[in-house]
Amino acid sequence: MTDVCIPLDLEKTASVSNNGTATLSSNTVAPGSLPKPILSLSHEDAEAAISRFQEFIRFPTVSALSPETGAYRECAAFLKSQLDGLGVMDQVFYLDEAPDHSPVVVAVWKGSQPELDVILLNSHYDVVPADVSAWTVPPFDGLRKDSKIYGRGTQDMKCVCMQYIEALRQIILNGYSPVRSIYLTFVPDEEIGGSGMAAFLESTVYKSLPGIALALDEGLASTTNTMDVFYGERLPWWISVTAQGPTGHASRFIENTAVEQLLELTKKALAFRQGQKDQLGMSLHENCTHALIKKKKLGDVTSLNITTLQAGVPVGNTFAYNCVSPQAKCSLDIRISPHMEPRDMSNLLDVWCQECSSTPGSVSWSYLEEQNASMTHATTDTDRRVNPWYGLFCDTLSTMGIELVPQVFPAATDSRFLRALGIRALGFSPMRNTEIMLHEHDEYILESNFLEGIGVYYELIQVLGAQGDEMDRMVEKKRINTDSSN
């Protein structure tokens, strides 16, 4: 079985044309095959969708600041008004379990068979900071220029928030009604740990669900004509390493100091890092840009970075520069690939500490946050023999002439919390033939990407929501057959 859906050789572009429609054109089509046309918006509808997206970008929802500035509340109110305006949502509300300053917006479109597991469309509306001095355009104006829409969050991931809504706006015009219920969640704080998703998973709303058949969340843009779908993520560990040693006057040759021991460990850590980096085929002079991450499949290896170093004998607001510090610390950011067992990383850290300790236990490590103590990878199965929902997802994109490439997400998203609960979750942001600009200066999305994404979700939402209980029976049957064969 192959995980890549390659139905056609297509090169597509989307634009608002002079004849008043926003369409996708196929430059190359495989002989004897025709893709299903992706949604065509009228010029008026396309312009209105882009205008609403620009308005959404103008909310400066920077994670660490927005609870105090009120930007979260204002942005959530905008989302709620857009969802209410659709006119078919059975419920649109703020989640009770989320704090007032950081609302989680939930919308429910009940299906004709509400007892079935639901479809969850998740997105986050918070963004990372933007250094205004480094941008050549205003980061929160939603500037439209040269067929691009600029602004913080245009790729990560406010585009998907609005593509969900705009797709639903078009679906409703067709008189469509889902078989299984469709839930939409718009959460804050994804960029700083995921408290918005945590609130949802602790809520009475989540606990009352019959189950989640499939969840969609964020992915990454693609620099090629393919689109990427992410079935897993690297496991994030934030580690503190502490070394203890003798102290004394800095004029003496004191042996086995805390700093010496810690430096020995950092050498081992950096050697491991280089070994993983070498597997990417990167030269010593290449930076780890987002484009390189995409090209080299960073998710396939384990990354390690030393993020802080601390030592010294404090004296008021400064340090005693003539004293040898009895303690030295560093922190490590480790992202463990699904191809490496977390237990192996733990054992490796134990060995490093043991080898670098001048006396037993003088170098030790611990987790900085308990949530990083996971020893289990959680991925969504891409074998359609056991996960028909993945097969359906691929087939739906295939009918539109879109090739999918399954990958491991190199960083962390809210999907990790869903997968940890055994929920099938796919990371997917329908952007192709473009630069990867999330977290970059002058972040933008092509107008054509934004419009094409609306069309992609227009098809996906209808197909996923139309699946009856036969899909659940198929999932159960395949699970039993797989268990029996094992």
pLDDT digits (tens, 9 = 90+) for 58-74: 999 999 999 999 999 99
The span from the CA of 107 to the CA of 167, in Å, is 14
Reply yes or no on whether the pLDDT at 40 is more than 90: no
* Residues 152-173 pLDDT 10s: 999 999 999 999 999 999 999 9
Q: What is the pLDDT of residue 286?
A: 44
Report, as an integer, the average pLDDT of 93-118: 98
* Residues 335-358 pLDDT 10s: 999 999 999 999 999 999 999 999
User: What is the H or E stretch that residue 445 is in?
Assistant: strand 444-446
Report, as an integer, the average pLDDT of 131-149: 98
With cut-offs at 50, 70 and 90, classify the pLDDT of residue 294. Answer: very low
The span from the CA of 153 to the CA of 129, in Å, is 10
Told to judge if 435 belongs to the known catalytic residues of this protein, a careful annotator would answer: no
Reply yes or no on whether the pLDDT at 481 is more than 90: no
With cut-offs at 50, 70 and 90, classify the pLDDT of residue 18. Answer: very low
Query: Is 182 within 8 Å of 86 (Cβ atoms)?
Result: no
The span from the CA of 485 to the CA of 296, in Å, is 35
287 against 161, higher pLDDT: 161
Query: Is 222 within 8 Å of 235 (Cβ atoms)?
Result: no
Report, as an integer, the average pLDDT of 9-23: 38
Give the contacts of 480 (CB within 8 A, at least 6 positions apart).
none
With cut-offs at 50, 70 and 90, classify the pLDDT of residue 109. Answer: very high
Residue type (1 letter), 422: G
Query: Could you tell me which residues are beta bridge partners of residue 123?
Result: 186
96's tokens: 């009770």
Question: What number of CA atoms fall less than 13 Å from residue 146's CA on the CB side?
Answer: 3
CA-wise closest residue to 403 among 35, 152, 61 = 35
Query: 236-337+342-372 is classed in which CATH architecture?
Result: 2-Layer Sandwich (3.30)
The span from the CA of 421 to the CA of 209, in Å, is 14
Q: Which of 190, 414, 435, 443 is catalytic?
A: 190
The alpha carbon of residue 217 and the mean position of all alpha carbons in its chain are separated, in whole angstroms, by: 7
- Between 34-48, 249-263, 320-334, the lowest mean confidence (pLDDT) is in 34-48
Chosen CATH of 12-232+377-481 out of 3.40.228.10, 3.40.630.10, 3.30.70.270, 3.30.420.40: 3.40.630.10
Reply yes or no on whether the pLDDT at 183 is more than 70: yes
Q: What is the pLDDT of residue 34?
A: 59
Exposure string of 381-390, with b = 16+ CB inside 10 Å and e = fewer, is bbebeebbbb
What are the CA-CA distances from residue 139 to residues 129, 147, 191, 252, 380 (Å)? 9, 17, 17, 54, 35
Report, as an integer, the average pLDDT of 436-454: 97
With cut-offs at 50, 70 and 90, classify the pLDDT of residue 17. Answer: very low
CA-wise closest residue to 243 among 338, 355, 136 = 355
Helix (H, G, I), strand (E, B) or coil at 244: strand
Query: Is 6 within 8 Å of 405 (Cβ atoms)?
Result: no
The span from the CA of 21 to the CA of 202, in Å, is 44
User: What is the H or E stretch that residue 418 is in?
Assistant: helix 415-420
Mark out the alpha helices in 33-177 (DSSP H runs).
43-57, 66-69, 71-86, 158-173
C-alpha distance across the termini of the chain, in Å: 17
245's tokens: 């040693």
Q: What is the pLDDT of residue 374?
A: 77
Reply yes or no on whether the pLDDT at 4 is more than 80: no
Query: Is 261 within 8 Å of 243 (Cβ atoms)?
Result: yes
Strand 248-249 to 323-324 pairing: antiparallel
Told to judge if 190 belongs to the known catalytic residues of this protein, a careful annotator would answer: yes
What rounded mean pLDDT belongs to the chain? 89
* Residues 406-432 pLDDT 10s: 999 988 899 999 999 999 999 999 999
Report, as an integer, the average pLDDT of 74-103: 98
Q: Which of 45, 126, 442, 452 is catalytic?
A: 126
The span from the CA of 122 to the CA of 128, in Å, is 18
The span from the CA of 436 to the CA of 429, in Å, is 11
Domain boundaries, the chain: 12-232+377-481, 236-337+342-372
pTM: 0.83
